[in-house]
Amino acid sequence: MKSWRIAFLGLLLLPEGFLAAQNQTQIASNNEPASTAKPAVVQSDEDALRAEGEKRFHANCGRCHQAPHKFPPRMMATIVRHMRVRATITDEDMRVILHYMTQ
Amino acid sequence: MRSKFRKLQGPPKAAKHGKTLARLVVVLAAFCLAPVLYAQQSSSDDTETISPVPILSAGLAYNSFFQGGTQHVHPLVSPVVLIPLGQNWLVESRDTFEIDLAPDPVTGNYKGALQKEVDYLQLDYIASPYMTVTVGRFLTPFGIFNERLYPVWIRDLQTDPLILPIATGPSGAGTGAMLRGGFDAKPGIEINYAAYFSTTSTDTPLDSQRMAGMRAGIFLPGPRLEFGGSFQHLLQDDRSNAFGFHAAWQPSALPFDIRAEYARSHTGSGYWVESAYRLSQAPMWHSALKHVQVVGRMQQYFTGVVPDDNLPPVNTHMFEFGLNYYFRDDLRFVSSYGRQFAPQTNMNVWNVGLTYRFALPVGHGDIR
């Protein structure tokens, strides 16, 4: 009877150790100054982000259904939040897909 | 039968276990949220500048099934409401209204009763980038079909897999609390999980069983391969366990996908394997064939030690072939033929129908 509870507990706690570490890394990367990038570099980054968004969009949305057409940005923000919960999409995937779908 | 069983041996232990589990969930939630709250506050950036707007969506279907020579007409409406609150909250619900119209054996007139079900009505709190806390009525996260492939506008074949009621029950939902989320374990490897506790509810259409369980999966975005497992412990009746496995693969080079599930409990066991191929790369008649999807499914069910009214009474296997035509990504014609094999009850199952889905914004949203 206790074994499944231990497994339940283990599953929940397993990710937390390195998630905290990942948080710190993400915070550090978020705090890096973006203003130092030159416009051409920014454009290149934007293209790369869009390409990455398209890739993640097809990889994640295609797991369950045909890729839908784009909705208005405010609707996409809700839909992506819904799909984040429903399909357990990662936070990073959600952000990149939302960026791609609202361009 | 089940309620009598519950009365005989259920309440004292159930209450004790319920309190223990409730404490466990609260402690775990507090523990898990603590290390990420700081990060969440600090990582708020311009990706959240779009204010989400409430949405009313719905899946609609009109299917005609010919099952063993008898026609069943099956209209269905399944409205979905999404209400985002702030940056981290979401209220979501889905209800299903359906009628199974079949000819009356005496008069020949088609008759059927309206069936109503609250599939889910839940409040989600995105507590951290890695965890969402859900309370309310939620779809039981056992396998992938019930939670992700069930809507009529998503499923490639309109018939349910034979093993769907295993561990999900007749309602497919639980009432209680759930922790779930997904995160990158390392580049190219994503892990997703869901752990839940549900209490007993006998109020139709909110019925659910007392149970606890979890599902964990690994998704490899590169090869688009996903696999995982589910476990559930029933906290009522015979306190049995159920477990299952699932896998899905969508190669990026082809408009093709293959999915499979296996489930086992005291009520039975079985599997289904389904594959779908969109003919968008056909070398001829491309403009017409790109809208066509070919589907095939093979499944088997084996009876368990405890009979379940929602499962076949005898060992059954079935194969189905489907042909779908997408007029648009939200409107399609669906058709399928299946042959079901069971002792003394072999039969054909035909289906033709239409499915449609729409989504509309409700109210106002603004760009902050």
Q: What is the ipTM, given to two decimal places?
A: 0.82
Contacts of A20 in chain B (CB under 8 A): 35-36, 39
Q: What is the CATH number of domain B2-44+56-361?
A: 2.40.160.10
Q: Does B191 contact A at CB distance below 8 Å?
A: yes
Q: How confident is the model over B307-325, as pLDDT tens digits?
A: 888 899 999 999 999 999 9
CB contact under 8 A, A9 and B184: no
- For residues B258 and B274, the answer to whether their CB atoms sit within 8 Å is yes
3-state secondary structure labels for all residues of chain B: CHHHHHHHHCHHHHHHHHHHHHHHHHHHHHHHHHHHHHHHHHCCCHHHCECCCCEEEEEEEEEEEEECCEEEEEEEEEEEEEEEECCCEEEEEEEEEEECEEECCCCCCEECCEEEEEEEEEEEEEEECCEEEEEEEEECCCCCHHHHHCCCCCCCCCCCCCCCCCCCCCCCEEEEEEEEEEEEEECCEEEEEEEEEECCECCCCCCECCEEEEEEEEEECCCCEEEEEEEEEECCCCCCEEEEEEEEECCCCCCEEEEEEEEEECCEEEEEEEEEEECCCCCCCHHHHCCEEEEEEEEEEEECCCCCCCCCCCCEEEEEEEEEEEEECCEEEEEEEEEEECCCCCEEEEEEEEEEEEEEECCCCCEC
Contacts of A9 in chain B (CB under 8 A): 24, 28
Report residue B148 as tokens: 């992700």
Residue of A27, A64, A65 with shortest CB distance to B42? A27
Rg (CA), chain B: 22
- For residues A96 and A80, the answer to whether their CB atoms sit within 8 Å is no
CB contact under 8 A, B134 and A95: no
Residue of A4, A82, A99 with shortest CB distance to B47? A99
Q: How confident is the model over B234-248, as pLDDT tens digits?
A: 998 888 999 999 999
pLDDT at B203: 80
Show Cβ contacts of residue A58 under 8 Å, excluding neighbours closer than 6 positions: A67, B252
Q: Does B125 contact A at CB distance below 8 Å?
A: no
Q: What is the average per-residue pLDDT within B209-232?
A: 95
Question: Quick one: closest CA in B to A30, which residue?
Answer: B43
Distance CA B316, CA B300 (A): 6
Contacts of A59 in chain B (CB under 8 A): 221, 224, 250, 252
Contacts of A7 in chain B (CB under 8 A): 214, 231
CB contact under 8 A, B39 and A24: yes
Distance CA B174, CA B180 (A): 14
pLDDT band at A20 (very low <50, low <70, confident <90, very high): very low
Pick from B116, B132, B148: nearest CA to B261: B148
CB contact under 8 A, B82 and A82: yes
Residue of B191, B226, B231 with shortest CB distance to A4? B231
Distance CA B18, CA B24 (A): 10
CB contact under 8 A, B92 and A82: yes
Side chain identity at residue B123, one-letter code: L
Residues 266-305 of B with CB under 8 A from A: 278
Q: What is the average per-residue pLDDT within B140-163?
A: 94
Q: Does B59 contact A at CB distance below 8 Å?
A: no
Q: Does B47 contact A at CB distance below 8 Å?
A: yes
pLDDT band at B252 (very low <50, low <70, confident <90, very high): confident
Distance CA B271, CA B246 (A): 9
CB contact under 8 A, B32 and A27: no
Contacts of B47 in chain A (CB under 8 A): 95, 98-99
Pick from B141, B156, B150: nearest CA to B198: B141
pLDDT at A26: 44
Side chain identity at residue A72, one-letter code: P
Q: Up-side HSE of residue B54: CA atoms within 13 Å toward CB?
A: 11
Beta bridge partners of A59: none
pLDDT at B361: 92
The residue extents of the domains of chain A are: 1-30, 40-103
pLDDT band at B194 (very low <50, low <70, confident <90, very high): very high
pLDDT of B55 > 80? The answer is yes
Q: Does B84 contact A at CB distance below 8 Å?
A: yes
Report percent pLDDT > 70 for chain B: 86
The residue extents of the domains of chain B are: 2-44+56-361
Residue of A16, A62, A75 with shortest CB distance to B32? A16
CB contact under 8 A, A62 and B250: yes
Rg (CA), chain A: 18
pLDDT band at A39 (very low <50, low <70, confident <90, very high): low
pLDDT of B169 > 80? The answer is no
Distance CA A49, CA A54 (A): 9
Distance CA B230, CA B97 (A): 29
How many interchain CB pairs under 8 A, A with B? 169
CB contact under 8 A, B28 and A12: yes
> Beta B131-139 vs B268-278: how paired, if at all?
unpaired
- For residues A100 and A50, the answer to whether their CB atoms sit within 8 Å is yes
Residue of A82, A88, A95 with shortest CB distance to B182? A88
pLDDT at B216: 97
Pick from B318, B225, B226: nearest CA to B272: B318
Side chain identity at residue B33, one-letter code: L
Residue A94, H or E segment: helix A91-101
Determine which of A63-67, B16-20, B61-65, B83-87 has the lowest per-residue pLDDT on average: B16-20
